[in-house]
Structure 1
Amino acid sequence: MSAVLDRIITADDLIRGGACRDGVMRSASPEWPAAFPVSVAVKEASRRHETVTVLRALDLDGYGYGDGYGGDGYGSGDDDGDGYGYGDDDGDGE
């Protein structure tokens, strides 16, 4: 997780990710560098109780979705058979 928090981003990254432009610009100040680590954005967001918004804008909220499909299977020896499988998965993680 440390490498993620050290990743360098810009205010534009947050805005393009869906964070409110006005909120991002309210947090920014002339002293802010043009680019900064994710940890700085998360720290500022936590002061405003908007950590979830920042994590979601940077695709760091840990939510994932996936589908899985199986194929045909054939047995050996005296028996022969077809098999089909389908999987659907919603996952939360990092």
Structure 2
Amino acid sequence: MMISDTAKWQTERAQFELEEVERLKKELLRAIDGDDYLKEQVIELRYQNQILREENQCLKDKLEKAHEFMKQFVIGGINLLEKFMEWIGEKVKDVGRGR
């Protein structure tokens, strides 16, 4: 009788440990899948970041060309760039005054 009880207890203990192993296995597999997802997200974000850097550089180049172009033209003794900057300054003041 005692051997039977011990065997039953060991069987129940083994079953419990097997269930715990299965639970940990599932948890580990979810964590691994999560890592793959995060890796994909990092790759995607790096790609998007590179595209934005290239676009930013292109816009900076265009702005520099526009500045150089505007500096070439003079209106009333002031180059077009300075005139434009004055106009922008006036608009900012107007916005500040609530116009």
Which structure has the larger Rg over C-alpha atoms?
A: 2
Structure scoring higher RCO (CA < 8 A, sep ≥ 6) equals 1
Coarse TM-score class (shorter-chain normalised): under 0.3
